[in-house]
């Protein structure tokens, strides 16, 4: 939802390619995060050693997916750098904000 808002704002204040770049930036953050979540979810009930191996494999896969997605974007699409990074950063910021302690 945050990525959609950022892409909409980039479209209002910029252009359609800016909105698309922000959307792509969010996708580059969301897809590797989803991969990591799948790796952790599949191995949550396993022994600590196996879970740790899955964590490292998931983290490596997340880094590789991020690099490959950015590479693919820069080589195949005409992206605008600033909206792309804003969309990417906004999607990553959601992960950090979710970790903040909640006080009721």
Query: Looking at residue 104, what is its pLDDT?
Result: 56
Give the CA count within 13 Å in the CB-facing half-sphere of 30.
13
pLDDT at 64: 97
The larger pLDDT score, comparing residue 30 to residue 96, is at 30
* pLDDT tops 80 at residue 103: no
pLDDT at 24 over 90: yes
| Confidence at 95, pLDDT banded by 50, 70, 90 | confident
Q: Which residue has the tokens 């792309």?
A: 84
Q: Express each pLDDT in 30-86 by its tens digit.
A: 999 999 999 888 887 888 888 899 899 999 999 999 999 999 999 988 888 999 999
CA 67 to chain CA centroid, nearest Å: 11
Q: Are 36 and 92 within 8 A, CB to CB? A: no
pTM for the predicted model, two decimal places: 0.84
């Amino acid at each position: 939802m945050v990525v959609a808002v950022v892409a909409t704002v980039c479209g209002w204040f910029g252009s359609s390619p800016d909105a698309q770049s922000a959307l792509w930036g969010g996708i580059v953050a969301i897809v590797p995060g989803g991969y990591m979540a799948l790796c952790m979810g599949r191995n949550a009930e396993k022994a600590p050693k196996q879970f740790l191996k899955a964590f490292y494999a998931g983290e490596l896969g997340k880094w590789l997916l991020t690099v490959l997605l950015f590479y693919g974007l820069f080589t195949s699409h005409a992206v605008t750098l600033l909206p792309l990074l804003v969309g990417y950063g906004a999607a990553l910021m959601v992960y950090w904000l979710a970790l903040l302690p909640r006080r009721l």
